[in-house]
Amino acid sequence: MKGGQATKPPPKKKLKNDLFAKKQLKKGDLLDDSEGTSEDIEEQEDFNDEEMEGLSDSGSEASSGGDDPLADDFLQGSDDEDDVSDGDEDSDSGSDSDEADPEKLSRAIDVERARVESEARDELQLNIKQESDEFRLPTEEELEEEALRPPDLQNMQRRIAEIIGVLSNFKAVKQDGVRRKDYVEQLKRDLASYYGYNDYLIGVLAEMFPPVELKELIEGFEKPRPVCLRTNTLKARRRDLADVLINRGVNLDPLAKWSKVGLVVYDSQVPIGATPEYMAGFYMLQSASSFLPVMALAPQEKERIVDMAAAPGGKTTYIAALMKNSGVIFANEMKEARLKSLTANLHRMGVTNTIVCNYDGKELPKVLGHNTVDRVLLDAPCSGTGVISKDESVKTSKSLEDIQKCAFLQKQLILAAIDMVDANSKSGGYIVYSTCSIMVAENEAVIDYALKKRDVKLVPCGLDFGKPGFVRFREHRFHVSLEKTRRYYPHVHNVDGFFVAKLKKMSNAKAPSSTSSESIDPESVLDDESNEKKTGVEHQHSQTEDGQANAMERCKVEENGQVRTDKPKSLSAPKNVEKRKRENEAEEGRKHAVKKNRVKENSLGKSDKAKSQPGPKEMKKQKFSRGKGSSKIRVEEKKEFRKKKAANKKGK
């Protein structure tokens, strides 16, 4: 058994040496040095064969059994080490050309590796190019199948990016036979599904912004805005407040260069809304966008200012701080439930120059008087499409009707605000209009309406940043001065979506075509018509139906930017139409009888004519006979004819 075990291993090792020699030959081919490498390989083979024959006996004795594979592996490993050591000895004893072979080999390996990497990069770029070129819009069948399956968000996100890339370079990358409108419609469907918007809102946003900016805006709405606080300069300075809050474990920085009182909070170890400094009224938690309307208003000391929608009091307390508690502020809030938070914040912040009132904003001119205040701040109630990051329900809850209702209310409020401002004020005469909405119907359209209805003009807001407002949008064309308004977006300015406009009242007189802040009362139109000077017997008795129709046409009330042509209740048809018809018939019969009497009187003499005129009693009878029918008038005529005959006989 030992002899058998001793004879088997050498052939295996020889085969291994042959394989090693072949590998060395392949490497030699790469170096293109066939002659030198072949000689080295032959010498190495001879040396290895002799060594393996001499070590075969010792290897067989060291092994415990020929059938043990671990022993074979161990022996093979030792043989490899011996081969490496022999190779090292040969290399040391070799010539200078043999010493350069490893360097050439490493260089060849580096070249091969670089070639493979370059090919991989080229293939990757080719695949990317082919994918972009091969993008096709899904067919209707594919969309139907996709609607039945759960939404594939990764595929949807990839398709959004592809469509935006195509729309950015439409002429060069577009698909043959596909219109731009098809890409836009598919983009709107994907954005609505991926981010959870309704069709109306995503459609309006797509009309306002290009595709790239539209995606950035929507992604900006998905991220929360930074927490900001405003220093109450009535009680503290920003530097001192920042030091105190930092000592409490609050990580904060100044808000921006445009604000001297704002601080932005990154994180806090304590509740930022329950610190002793907050309770003492040293600061107010307030979004950065809420600073902008007050900065545009620029209130001065000892002025009369109205905040038409004041709750919860962030802007009102800021105005009071800028006025240093001088003058008077009328803080109005229509919803009674919000008055508690308003008054609480006023007390906490140390405001003493403010009067809180609870009126409908449209009625304020009647309460405070026309042309009585210096400045008005109208942060109008709106749809909230600029603060989606705070209220995600806006994505699906807002519709066209909601936007129109808000716009109609805003138009009424801005006219009321203008009516309260005194154009002759020495330091004021300004109105600031702001909303937390980005809809054109609630912003530029409302300002354009105010410019047409009142003698006001737009002035710069005094803010260093912000995008100018729209001068034209779809089919709408607004006043050129609307470029002075300012728009703010979350993806551009890192604040909530906001709109700010500043108006200057030029005169207290209303425009000739203007209407009051409330809708026109149809009854007032009737009163004006009744006071007009009209002549004729027909108008003294009643107003004809044609006159009522003309009055109804003139009484058209503007609602929501459109003319209201519905029939007012006060102008409805009277119930006694039949009675008036009878009176008209009686009047015609009386006129006909008078004509006959005149013909008969002409045939008589002048004396008879004077005597034949009816007396006061007869005139009364004629008045009472009106409306009783033409038969009674004939009876009266017969009586008058008989009396005339009797009078003529007596005279003769």
Looking at the annotation, which residues are catalytic? 436
Residues listed for the chain:
652
CA distances to 191, 222, 365, 409, 539 from 519, in Å: 40, 40, 15, 11, 29
Q: Under 8 Å CB-to-CB from 565, ≥6 apart: which residues? A: 556
> How far apart (Å, rounded) are the C-alpha atoms in residues 331 and 210?
40
How is residue 314 written in tokens? Answer: 């962030």
- Pseudo-torsion of CA 191, 197, 199, 202, nearest 10°? -60
Q: Is the dihedral of CA 538, 540, 542, 548 positive or negative?
A: positive
> How far apart (Å, rounded) are the C-alpha atoms in residues 589 and 595?
10
> How far apart (Å, rounded) are the C-alpha atoms in residues 406 and 561?
12
Phi-psi region of 90 (alpha: psi -120 to 50; beta: other; left: phi over 0): alpha
How is residue 524 written in tokens? Answer: 């007032």
The answer to whether residues 40 and 94 touch, using CB atoms and an 8 Å cutoff, is yes
The answer to whether residues 601 and 586 touch, using CB atoms and an 8 Å cutoff, is no
CA distances to 162, 437, 456, 489, 620 from 214, in Å: 14, 16, 34, 11, 83
Phi, psi of 64 (to 5 degrees): -80, -25
The answer to whether residues 383 and 353 touch, using CB atoms and an 8 Å cutoff, is no
How is 388-406 classified by DSSP, letter by letter? TTT-TTHHHH--HHHHHHH
Measure CA 468 to chain center.
15
> How far apart (Å, rounded) are the C-alpha atoms in residues 618 and 224?
91
3-state secondary structure of 530: helix
How is residue 333 written in tokens? Answer: 């809030």
Residue type, 331: A
Phi, psi of 228 (to 5 degrees): -125, 155
User: Closest by alpha carbon to 376, among 436, 317, 433?
Assistant: 433
> How far apart (Å, rounded) are the C-alpha atoms in residues 487 and 494?
12
Residue type, 228: C
The answer to whether residues 608 and 649 touch, using CB atoms and an 8 Å cutoff, is no
